A and B are shown apart, each in its own frame.
Chain A
Amino acid sequence: MDPVMLSRVQFALTISFHYIFPVFSIGLGLLLVIMEGLYLKTGREVYHQMTHFWVSIFALIFGIGVASGIVMEFQFGTNWANYSRFVGDVFGSALAAEGLFAFFLESGFLAVLLFGWNKVSKQMHFLSTVLVCLGAHFSAVWIVVANSWQQTPAGFHLVSHNGAMRAEITDFWAMVFNPSSVERLSHVITGAWLAGAFLLLSISAFYLIKQKHLEVAKAGMNIGLSVALIASFLQLVTGHESALVVAKHQPAKLAAMEGHYHPYKTADLYLFGWVDEKAEKTHGLAIPGGLSFLTHNDFQKPLVGLGKFPKTERPPVNITFQMYHLMIAIGMTLIGLSVLGVFLKFKGTLYTCKPVLWLFVFAVMLPQIANQAGWAAAEIGRQPWIVYGLLRTSQGISPVVKADDILASIILFSSVYTLLFILFIYLLNQKIKKGPVFLEHDSTHLDPRLTAQSREGDINVL
Chain B
Amino acid sequence: MFFEALDLNLIWFLLVGMLLTGYAMLDGFDLGVGILHLLTKTDEHRRLMLNSIGPVWDGNEVWLVTGGGALFAAFPDVYATVFSGFYLPFMILLVMLIFRAVAIEFRSKEPMSWWRQAWDASFSISSATSALLFGVALGNIALGIPLDAQGEFSGTFLSLLNPYALLVGLTTMALFAMHASIYVVMKTDGELQAQARGWIKNTIAFFVICYVTTTMATLLYVPQMTEHVRNQPGFFVLALLNMLAIAAIPRDIYYGRDLRAFAFSCLNIALLMALFGLGVFPYMVPSNPHPEWGLTIYNAASSQKTLGIMLIIAILAIPMVTAYTISIYWIFRGKVKLDAKSY
Contact = CB atoms under 8 A, between A and B. Distances in A.
Interface of A: 59-60, 63-64, 66-71, 73-74, 76-79, 81-82, 84-85, 87-93, 95-101, 103-105, 107-112, 114-120, 159, 162-163, 166, 168-170, 172, 398-401, 405, 408-409, 412-413, 416, 420, 423, 427, 430, 441
B76 interface: yes
Contacts of A398: 80, 84, 87
Interface in B33-88: 54-56, 58-59, 61-62, 64-66, 68-70, 72-77, 79-85, 87-88
Given A104-B62, A111-B332, A116-B331, A163 B325 contact: no
Contact of A92 (B62, B69, B99): B69
B84 A81 contact: yes
Chain B, interface residues (CB within 8 Å), range = 35 or more
What 7 A-B pairs are tightest by C-beta distance, nearest first? A88-B76, A92-B73, A77-B83, A99-B66, A111-B55, A398-B84, A81-B80
B299 interface: yes
B331 A119 contact: yes
Contacts of A112: 55, 328, 331
Given A104-B324, A412-B95, A64 B313 contact: no
B98 A96 contact: no
B303 A420 contact: no
A77 B65 contact: no
B72 A84 contact: yes
Given A74-B94, A97-B313, A114-B341, 4 more contacts: A60-B105, A92-B306, A93-B313, A104-B59
19 contacts: A67-B98, A67-B102, A70-B61, A70-B94, A77-B82, A78-B87, A89-B306, A97-B69, A99-B62, A100-B313, A100-B317, A101-B313, A103-B62, A104-B62, A111-B54, A112-B328, A115-B332, A168-B306, A169-B303
Interface string B153-164: 110000000000
Nearest to A67: B101
Contacts of B106: 423, 427
A103 B331 contact: no
B120 interface: no
Nearest to B304: A168
B338 to A, nearest CB: 12
Contacts of A119: 331-332
Interface string B86-118: 011011001101110110011001100000000
Instruction: Please report whether the interface of chain B is mostly helix, strand, loop or mixed according to DSSP.
Output: helix
A367 B296 CA distance: 47
Contacts of A412: 91, 95
Among B68, B76, B150, B151, chain A packs the most CB atoms within 10 A around the CB of B76
A108 B105 contact: no
Contacts of B340: 441
A59 B58 CA distance: 11
A77 B80 contact: yes
Contact of B152 (A116, A400, A416): A400
B72 A96 contact: yes
Given A66-B58, A89-B303, A168-B306, A99 B80 contact: no
Contact of A405 (B88, B95, B317): B88
Given A117-B341, A168-B302, A103 B65 contact: yes
B191 interface: no
Among B61, B62, B82, B305, chain A packs the most CB atoms within 10 A around the CB of B62
Nearest to A69: B65
Contact of A84 (B79, B152, B328): B79
Contacts of A420: 98, 102
Contact of A88 (B56, B62, B79, B101): B79
Interface string B11-43: 000000000000000000000000000000000
Among B59, B94, B309, chain A packs the most CB atoms within 10 A around the CB of B94
B81 to A, nearest CB: 7
A104 B323 CA distance: 11
A81 B83 contact: yes
A73 B91 contact: no
Interface string B284-324: 00000000000000010011011001100110011011001
B4 interface: no
A21 B165 CA distance: 36
Contact of A401 (B61, B84, B303): B84
Contacts of A87: 76
Nearest to A419: B102
A84 B91 contact: no
B325 A108 contact: yes
Contacts of B328: 108-109, 111-112
